[in-house]
Amino acid sequence: MSAQIMSETSNTKPLIRARNLGKSYGKKVALADVNLSIPAGRIVGLIGPNGAGKTTCLKAILGMTTFQGELEVLGLHPQKQRNQLMEHVTYIADVAVLPRWIRADQLIKLTAASHPRFSTERCLELLKLTNVKLTDRVKSLSKGMIVQLHLALIMAIDAKVLVLDEPTLGLDILYRKQFYSQLLNDYFGEDRTIIVTTHQVEEIEHILTDVIFVKNGRLALNESMDEVHEHYFEVAVSSENAERARQLGPMSERSLLGRHVFLFGNRSREELEALGEIHSPSIADLFVAFMQGSRA
């Protein structure tokens, strides 16, 4: 299924709109016929295996690469109007690159002088939640502390769109949970949209409003979390009912504690209740089911 996040008949203009978005590197197709319509007030998980095209999609949104098709972000062309766009879009890459010689306080002053929507006060508040001191130089910080400093700088910018590419890479689980809690409670709002990619799918599932799976440069799934819960079911089935379940054409099957667990995306809840215990699948299990074809 590939239902769009926002209906084309909605009166709300999307923050991000793509039509037949494509990108090729020579003969290699990175993106093909990608259609997106993402409004404000959404947290979108962009999930795919390595090389699937999700980073290329993010680069196109950020104006960091050429593309075919149509793409608007905040009503702007990402490449032709990139300077104007980047006043309202922020980006956290999987690797935070900061000058090693600079102190944290100098970096804050530099950011404040170069970005009109940066809040020094907000940045200082965020840094108080970390172990980074204002007098620390980047070269003296651990990898995790550098990420903490980078996150504080980015989250102190009042942006309409926040793009997170593996934002908590290098952080321990305590800070990862703290980061997502701050993101949800202190940063996210109805006028902002967040796009996040990560391989730690289980850690972001609870904050997502929408999920997109990218497979071989195309969108394999593009639905809201509400739609996912309506369309997909996992059924724990005893051995006696396993063959009946297989005849219904499940997307995947796995064994768990002596029972067969089937994932369905083409059957009603009422039809499946006779087979066994029904649950909503995790995003990780759903992702594996969608990707199995390409892995095979």
Structure tokens at 6: 């926002």
Structure tokens at 50: 């390595």
Quickly count: other Cβ atoms within 10 Å of residue 117's Cβ.
Answer: 12
Residue 257 has pLDDT above 80, yes or no: no
Instruction: Quote the pLDDT of residue 95.
Output: 63
Model pLDDT, residue 150: 87
Mean pLDDT, rounded, for 266-272: 88
List phi, psi (to 5°) of 208.
-75, 140
Model pLDDT, residue 11? 45
pLDDT digits 0-9 by tens, 22-80: 999 988 999 999 999 999 999 999 999 988 899 999 999 999 999 999 999 999 999 99
pLDDT for res 96? 62
Contact of 16 with 163, CB cutoff 8 Å: no
Identify the pLDDT of residue 9: 35
pLDDT of residue 10: 40
Q: Where are the domains of the chain?
A: 16-227, 233-279
Query: In whole angstroms, what is the distance from residue 4 CA to residue 276 CA?
Result: 31
pLDDT at position 3: 41
What is the chain's mean pLDDT, rounded? Answer: 87
* Burial readout 17-48 (b: 16 or more C-beta within 10 A, e: otherwise): bbeebbbeeeeebbbbebbbbbbbebbbbbbb
Q: Give yes or no for a contact between 192 and 162, defined as CB atoms under 8 angstroms apart.
A: yes
- Dump pLDDT digits (tens) for 165-194: 888 877 788 878 878 887 887 778 778 899
In the numeric block, which tokens belong to residue 192?
């902002």
- Section 267-296 average pLDDT: 83
- The answer on pLDDT for 4 being more than 60 is no
pLDDT in tens, 99-150: 889 999 999 999 999 898 999 999 999 999 888 999 999 999 988 788 888 8
Which of residues 132 and 292 earns the better pLDDT score?
Answer: 132
For the domain made up of 16-227, the CATH class stated in words is alpha beta
Q: When comparing pLDDT for 286 and 9, which is higher?
A: 286
The pLDDT of residue 2:
41
Instruction: Give residue-wise pLDDT tens across range 205-234.
Output: 989 999 999 999 999 999 999 999 999 999
Q: Is the pLDDT at 90 greater than 50, yes or no? A: yes
Q: Please tell me the predicted confidence (pLDDT) of residue 184.
A: 82
pLDDT surpassing 80 at residue 249? yes
